[in-house]
Chain A
């Protein structure tokens, strides 16, 4: 028996409201999970009702931020179904569809592993792929595997669907060559190239023949200007480019946004090259939706960061700067941003090992934390379920044992970190995903930030 779609929607929505009332969380995925159980195909039908269709964004790092930038560009005149709280599995997409009855357009960030299924069900008008780094191998498997699944998913898209890819990523740039309607974005400013590939760099070897690529520039992880000296596989031509990049510490990043329809200087209110990539992705994706350059520029300049990704919270006479870390490539960029802006003397790193964090914590050994030691870090407070492992990472990396404190409880760690921070100073907090949620809960219980589902609404 198949329930009428209306009845399913009603039942599923009611449960989400109950979950919020019961105080068990944002209720952001429960309605979708229920709908998914009742009738998996209901998602296809819900999406089919969106008059302007759906766009999907996937990446190892930057999904939430890129989607939030797109929402800011589209502004209030477009009614969106958008999973802005970051619930990005099939059930989270279903919940967002349920939540937005009169939506015109679906805007969804999608988990890397869930992309093929979501794309198959939603038949999106555009798919935007921002990057692919090694991440939670226990959950996603090897990078090649994810890349292969993405390739297959892209091949089954409708022929008129747009594919927007980061050309600086060899795996993704190559996807453009197979599509008629592909838009390739990337960075072109060798002044910001790293001197060499970092330890955790992926995709170092030619995807066609296996020879090590030669890099004319390396920007973030393995993203850059590559060329295979043996078979010639190289960086594709860019349609949407960032040039003349200026990074201003933790405050902003500016660049010339060059597109086929003109050039604009964009000043973001978020830092780092990785956010320049996110902005490029958002600009390239909205251009496929016939959004004008003016609107793209003002949307990007209005954008303020997605929760917990980069968040400054004032706690009395001190402040906390929260920067999410979840894999080597992302954490390396966080470290680089802190070093460029001046390393705060006290750092709280919170490492959990739940499913959403990755049960395998070995990735912390692939992060280059050492620049923090060399640029003024005085104290580390190690927290979370795997605080001891994190403390070992710092100690065996050469940070003095007597400057490390292990405080597994988040509340105590936050207190200790703030105590070590001088009045008027800032405590940098680097949590993994579930640690970030827990720390935010503590901070909001103390009355300093709104819970994420309120902000998301």
Chain B
């Protein structure tokens, strides 16, 4: 079986090693006998609704983010349709902000978003930079990563966070929550990149992507994740000792 990934704006949003996330998905899929096919979806391209199992959106600098915001806003309804039909989405950092309804920058200018998740983001005064550790109660697991954002993301009614902040700033530096998860749509500020040091989550999103075609998420056989778990524990320790405090 082929898992089809639509990588949105890879030329613009790629600042936090997003290709590391894609490489992890590809190799972990291959080792379970799935092909992972990645196609780039750029400005002006069709969103290929129905043909994509997982949409991936990475992080970019403010300038790049502003350049693509109108395009993703235009793709919003199509992406909403795809999600309603079971496609999964993983969005990191700038991409996460673009999943919401809007982003207001320091000058008060408002960038539109795709509206896939019930949230909006407002630029704050200081960047929130540092190592992060989350407890994902829905999975009984932790996520470790690095955050670097000036936007404060506010979840709106009914939105579940991805996790509770054990160390670091999270969505807004005050709520104690990080990221947002609605069904198979996940947005987070965690990069580093996210997936190499959080293999359980890589497998979860991979299974959810496969579920778009299979109906149910398949059970993926475990891999030898010794190195991944070592990287996770170092990253988690970093967050505990030097992550941001609010």
Contact = CB atoms under 8 A, between A and B. Distances in A.
A226 B214 CA distance: 47
Given A204-B11, A205-B63, A359 B146 contact: yes
A364 B16 CA distance: 10
Contacts of B238: 353, 359
B67 A210 contact: yes
Interface stretch (B71-79, B127-135, B163-171): B127-135
A309 interface: no
Q: Indicate the member of A199, A360, A363 with the most B CB atoms within 10 Å.
A: A360
A134 B230 contact: no
A139 B72 CA distance: 29
B107 to A, nearest CB: 13
A199 B16 CA distance: 12
B17 interface: yes
Contacts of B15: 134, 137
Contacts of A385: 234
Given A138-B148, A359-B131, A396-B20, A391 B67 contact: no
B109 interface: no
Contacts of A361: 146, 192
Contact of A137 (B130, B148, B197, B242): B148
Interface stretch (A52-60, A140-148, A311-319, A417-425): A140-148
B20 A362 contact: yes
Interface in A137-180: 137-138, 141-144
Interface in B1-40: 11, 14-17, 19-20, 23-24, 27
Given A362-B16, A362-B191, A365-B20, A144 B231 contact: no
Contact of B17 (A141, A210, A365, A386): A365
A419 to B, nearest CB: 22
Interface in A189-228: 199, 204-205, 210, 212
Contact of B227 (A204, A205, A360, A406): A406
A142 B27 CA distance: 31
B62 interface: yes
A392 B231 CA distance: 8
Contacts, number: 87
Nearest to B131: A359
Contacts of B23: 365, 396-397
A360 B14 CA distance: 15
A437 interface: no
Contacts of B61: 142-144
Nearest to A391: B227
Contacts of A205: 63-64, 67
A161 to B, nearest CB: 29
A365 B20 CA distance: 6
A141 B128 CA distance: 11
Nearest to B238: A353
Given A138-B129, A142-B62, A392-B197, A362 B67 contact: no
Q: Which of A142, A143, A210, A391: most chain B CB closer than 10 A?
A: A142
Nearest to A144: B63
Interface string A362-374: 1111100000000
Contacts of B228: 392
Interface string A390-432: 0111011100010000100000000000000000000000000
19 contacts: A134-B15, A141-B127, A205-B67, A360-B129, A360-B146, A361-B192, A362-B16, A362-B192, A363-B17, A365-B17, A365-B23, A366-B17, A386-B231, A388-B234, A389-B197, A391-B227, A393-B20, A395-B227, A396-B23
**6 nearest interchain CB pairs?**
A365-B17, A365-B20, A362-B17, A388-B231, A388-B230, A142-B61
Given A138-B148, A385-B234, 11 more contacts: A137-B16, A359-B131, A360-B16, A362-B146, A365-B20, A365-B193, A386-B234, A388-B231, A392-B196, A392-B228, A396-B23
Interface of B: 11, 14-17, 19-20, 23-24, 27, 61-64, 67, 127, 129-131, 146, 148, 191-193, 196-197, 227-228, 230-231, 234-235, 238, 242
Interface of A: 134, 137-138, 141-144, 199, 204-205, 210, 212, 353, 359-366, 385-386, 388-389, 391-393, 395-397, 401, 406
